[in-house]
Structure 1
Amino acid sequence: MIAVLLSLVVLFFCIWLLIRWRKVKSYWLERGVPHYPPHPILGSLTFLQRENPSIWMRRVYNDFKAPYVGMWQFWRPALVVNSPEIARRILVKDADVFRNRFLSSGKSDPIGALNVFTVNDPLWSKLRRRLTLVFTAAKLRSLNGITIAKTKDLVTRLEIESNKPELIDLRKICTDFTTDVIGESAFGITSNSLADGDSIMRRVTREFQAFNLHRGLSWSSIFFFPELVDIFRFSFFPKDTMKLLRKIFRTVVEQRGGYDKDIKDARDLLDALLKIKKEADMENEEMTEDILLAQAAVFLLGGFDTSGAALTWTMYELAWNPQYQERLYEDILNLKRKIGNRGFDSTVLTEIGYLDCVIKETLRIYPPMGWLDRIATKDYKIDDKLTIPAGTAVYVNGVSMQMDPEYFPNPEVFNPDRFLPENERTITPYTFMPFGEGPRNCIGMRFAFQTLRQALAEVLLKYEIKVIPDTPKPSEIEIEKNGMFYMPSGKMSVHFVKRDNEFVS
């Protein structure tokens, strides 16, 4: 009798599962939305850990050439948006409906769940309002000293590495540089990765860059199926690394007089965070150590690798495109002759408009995060044909629009002239979004540009970057498969040859 009952239960469960699967499988078909056939278990997520998500996004864009495409996160329907007009409404015009990201971490991961990148309302609005004051142009100028000092270390490191017989590992050097800049800016401790080849902050960021199976599954869940995070106790940051960061954070806070000390002028991000806590306490607003540490940690993670990769890609592309490198060098040299003994800083470097053109073109082809995820808080009309229900995740496919020949002719060609003022005005709005758009755009954008300008100006003033024979073209560089960001995989190398001008000793 028990065996019969069990058999009936299994039978009814299988029937229910089959009916449910047929409903899931026909979801986008019934709504007339183009889509790939879903996998019975993974839905559309079969690419995870096998292919970088941005590569998959580009394939979706090119295969369907539609304003939006249906997908599934396991059995949950989601939407990929390929239209700049729909992107504008989601990210800006109707941002209140799409205020929250879909990606998130869980209760088992307080630091990963509480940072301004992953957290949602109401805490996100409070954090964003307070942190925005930290990233104004005036506040960032106070970090000039760190960036300038570390850029000098970068130039010295390049000279040392150029005299060695083995090929330079460009990304390693660039991320040593950005670790030093952001490590000192965010945590207020000395970081000499460039000079010493190692530092406590570099050990932290090196762990951030390492992806084993567990870390890959953690990030895949956080970005595409957050419900799994607490079940498997996944984390956004490596847990051992966060123990070390917490120890560093507490030590520096104590050295600066603790949380009760009054801070008038913030010297760095850590000072700014301490000031934020002081102000929050006065307003009876909760601001725990976990919340503060989460912001410092995500500033380090979100900045060192994305900026390091952007600097790597830029120098590699300039090696392969000497005509643009020479034009930028002439602008840098002319500015240096104009300012004389005065060093480069964030104020004078804004005079070189072509610096930003070069950086923007790099970010067009190699955006660190190729899509912008949001979740609808209520039913939302995409167009006359489609309304998505509340809770539906949408992915704005920025990486693909930035490579669409309709918006950027010959998109595979590196051409900074696209972003000259007279040309940039003609770019279709919301087809270039490497830092996002709307209220949830990247809060560190100004700092990233400040760091990249300084590094490129100092390096190009003193070195010509040249291609090494038999190395892959930029388009042939493999992209990481295990991470979520669009990062190069493997070693990238170039020659740095000293220039002959009056500023090179």
Structure 2
Amino acid sequence: MILQLLLLVVFFVCAWLYLKWSRVKNYWLKRGVPHYPPHPILGSLTFLQRENPSVWMRQLYKDFNAPYVGMWQFWRPALVVNSPEIARRVLVKDADFFRNRFLSSGKSDPIGALNIFTANDPLWSSLRRRLTAVFTAAKLRSLNGITISKSKAFVERIAVDSKKDDPIDLRTICTDYTTDVIGEAAFGVSSNCLAEGDSIMRKVTREFMSFDLHRGLSWSSIFFFPELVDIFRFSFFPKDTIKLLRKIFRTVIEQRGGYEKEVKDARDLLDALLKIKQEAVRDNEDISEDLLLAQAAVFLLGGFDTSGTTLCWVVYELAWNPQCQERLYQQVLELKRKIGDRGFDSTVLSDVGYLDCVIKETLRIYPPMGWLDRIASKDYKIDDKLTIAAGTTVYVNGVSMQMDPQYFPDPEVFNPDRFLPENERDITPYSFMPFGEGPRSCIGMRFAYQTLRQGLADLILNYEFKVIPDSPKPSDIGVEKKGMFLMPDEKMSVQFVKRDNEFVNKV
């Protein structure tokens, strides 16, 4: 009798699973939406830990000539948007329907769950409003002295490392530079990794760059199946590294007089976080140290590696495109002759329009995070053929639109001229958005551009970048498979040749 009951239970469970699976696998078919056949367990996520999500997105874009494509997060239907017009509506016009991100961490990971990148409303709106003041143009101009100093240290470090036998690892040295900039500009912590080869902040960021199987699974869950985070106690940041960052955070807060010393004007991110805490106390709100530390951690992660790797790609592409490099050099040299001993700062570099063109073209081909996720809060009409249900995740496929010849002719060609003023106005809106668009666009965009401009301007004034024989072409460089961002998975190097101009010996 017991055996018969067990068999009956197994039968009903199998029947239920079969019916459920039938509905899942036919979900997009019934709605006339193109899609890859889903895996019975993983849905569309068979690429995880085997292929970078941006690489998968680009392949999907090529395989389906459609404004949107259906996918599954395990058995949960989601939609990939390949249309700039639909992207505009999701990210900007109808942003109130798509305020929240799908990716998130869990209760077991407060630092990963409470930061402005992963948080959703109402916490996200409160954080965004309070942190925006740190990233105004006026506030960033006050950081010019730090960035100028670090850019000069960057040039000096290359002079030292160029004398060694091993070629310079571009990603390492570029992230040394961005770690030093963020360490001092955002945290007020002395960071001299460029000069000394290491610093306490670099210990933190070096761990952030490391992806083993466990961390890869952690990020895969956070980005594509957050329910697993608490089950397996995954974390967005390496846990040992957060302990060190917490120690740094507490030390700096104590040096500034503690949480009680009033902050009238936030000089940097740490001041802004102190001010948030003080305002919350006055408003009888509870702001925990974890919430403050989460913002510090995500700004460090979001700033040092994305900016550092972008600078790495810029230098590598310029080495392979000497005509672009020479054009940029001549403009930077002309500016330097005008300003004399004055350092390159955010004000004067606005006169080198081609500098931004080079950076934007690099971000077009190598956007750090090539896709944007949003959740529909209500049923939403995508077009006359499709209405998605509330709770559906939408992925805006920016990494692929930026390589579409319909919007960028000869997309594989590195061509900064696309972003000259007379050409940029013809770019299809929302086909280029490396920092996102709308209310949830990257809050640190201005800071990133300032860091990139100043570092690149000093580098190109002092050095010519040359291709090392037998180096892979930029398009042949592999990208990380276990991470979520579009980062190189192999060493990239160029030869730095000191230039012959009247300013080189002065640096």
- For normalisation by structure 1, the TM-score amounts to 0.99
Q: Is the 8 A contact 2:379 2:389 kept in 1?
A: yes
For each residue in 1:386-439, what CA deviation from the matched residue of structure 2 results, as whole angstroms up to 9, or x when unmatched? 000000000000000000000000000000000000000000000000000000
Q: Is 2:412 the counterpart of 1:377? A: no
Matches within 5 A, 1:44-443: 44-443=44-443
Work out whether residues 103 and 373 of structure 2, in 8 Å CA contact, stay in contact via their aligned partners in 1.
Answer: yes
Read off the aligned partner of 1:337 and give its amino acid letter.
Answer: R
Secondary structure of the corresponding residue to residue 77 of structure 2: strand
Three-state SS of the structure 2 residue aligned to 1:168 is coil
The C-alpha deviation readout for 1:301-341, integer Å capped at 9, x for no partner, is 00110001000000000000011111111110111111112
How many percent of aligned residue pairs carry the same amino acid? 80
CA deviation after TM superposition for structure 1 residue 279, in Å: 2.2
For 2:304 and 2:34, the matched residues in 1 are separated by 38
Kept in 2, the 8 Å contact 1:253–1:259? The answer is yes
Give the structure 2 partner of residue 471 of structure 1: 471
1:187 CA drift (Å): 2.2
1:168 counterpart letter in structure 2: I
Per-residue displacement from partner, 1:189-222 (whole Å, max 9, x unpaired)?
1111111111111111111111111100100000
AA at the equivalent of 2:259: Y
Distance 1:3 1:150 in 2: 74
Q: Contact conserved, 1:95 with 1:439, CA < 8 A, in 2?
A: yes
Amino acid at match of 2:486: Y
Query: Per-residue deviation at 1:263?
Result: 1.9
Gaps of 5+ in 1: none
* Counterpart code for 2:491: K
* 1:464 match: secondary structure: strand
CA contact (8 A) 2:463 2:496 kept: yes
Quote the residue 1:446 is aligned against: 446
For 1:278 and 1:5, the matched residues in 2 are separated by: 63
In 2, Cα distance between equivalents of 1:479 and 1:111: 27
Give the TM-score normalised by the residue count of structure 2. 0.99
Contact 1:171 1:492 in 2 (8 A): yes
Deviates more, 1:448-457 or 1:179-188: 179-188
**In structure 2, distance between residues paired with 1:29 and 1:158:** 56
Amino acid aligned to 1:50: R
Paired residues in the alignment total 505
TM-aligned CA deviation for residue 4 of structure 1? 1.3
Shift of 1:150: 1.1
Q: Contact 1:107/1:230 (CA < 8 Å) preserved in 2?
A: yes
Tell me, in whole angstroms, the C-alpha distance in 2 between the residues paired with 1:284 and 1:460. 52
Distance 1:214 1:393 in 2: 25
Aligned residue identity for 2:451: T
User: Runs (4+) of structure 1 moved beyond 6 Å?
Assistant: none
SS at structure 2 position matched to 1:440: coil
| Equivalent in the alignment of 2:17 | 17
Unaligned runs of 5+ in 2: none
Mapped to 2, the partners of 1:105 and 1:143 lie a distance apart of 32
Conservation of the 8 A alpha-carbon contact between 1:108 and 1:233:
yes
Distance 1:281 1:474 in 2: 51
State the SS of the aligned residue for 1:270.
Answer: helix
Query: In the alignment, is residue 40 of structure 1 matched against residue 40 of structure 2?
Result: yes
Q: Which amino acid aligns with 1:272?
A: A
Q: Is this contact kept in 2: 1:135–1:443, CA < 8 A? A: yes
Q: In structure 2, give the amino acid aligned to 1:447.
A: F
CA distance in 2, matches of 1:366, 1:27: 33
Whole-Å separation in 1 of the counterparts to 2:343 and 2:134? 25
Q: Is the 8 A contact 2:105 2:113 kept in 1?
A: yes
- Asked whether 1:2 is paired with 2:2, we answer yes
2:499 matched to which residue of 1?
A: 499
**Residues 134 and 269 of structure 1 are in contact (CA less than 8 Å); yes or no, is this contact kept in structure 2?**
yes
Query: Partner amino acid for 1:373?
Result: D
CA distance in 2, matches of 1:2, 1:243: 53
CA contact (8 A) 1:142 1:268 kept: no
Local SS of the residue matching 1:257: coil
Give the secondary structure class of the aligned counterpart of 2:72: strand
Partners of 2:134 and 2:267 within 8 A in 1: no
Asked whether the 8 Å contact 1:114–1:291 carries over to 2, the reply is yes
Q: Is the 8 A contact 1:185 1:270 kept in 2?
A: no
1:183 deviation in Å?
1.8
CA distance in structure 2 between the aligned counterparts of 1:285 and 1:453, rounded to whole angstroms: 39
- The one-letter code matched in structure 1 to 2:430 is Y
Aligned CA RMSD, in angstroms, stands at 0.8
**SS at 2:330 equivalent:** helix
Q: Structure 1: how far apart are the matches of 2:219 and 2:289?
A: 24
Kindly state the Cα deviation for residue 98 of structure 1 after the two structures are TM-superposed. 0.1
d(CA) in 2 for partners of 1:341 and 1:238? Answer: 43
1:262-313 deviations in Å (ceiling 9; x for gaps): 1233332111211222223223333221111111100000011000100000
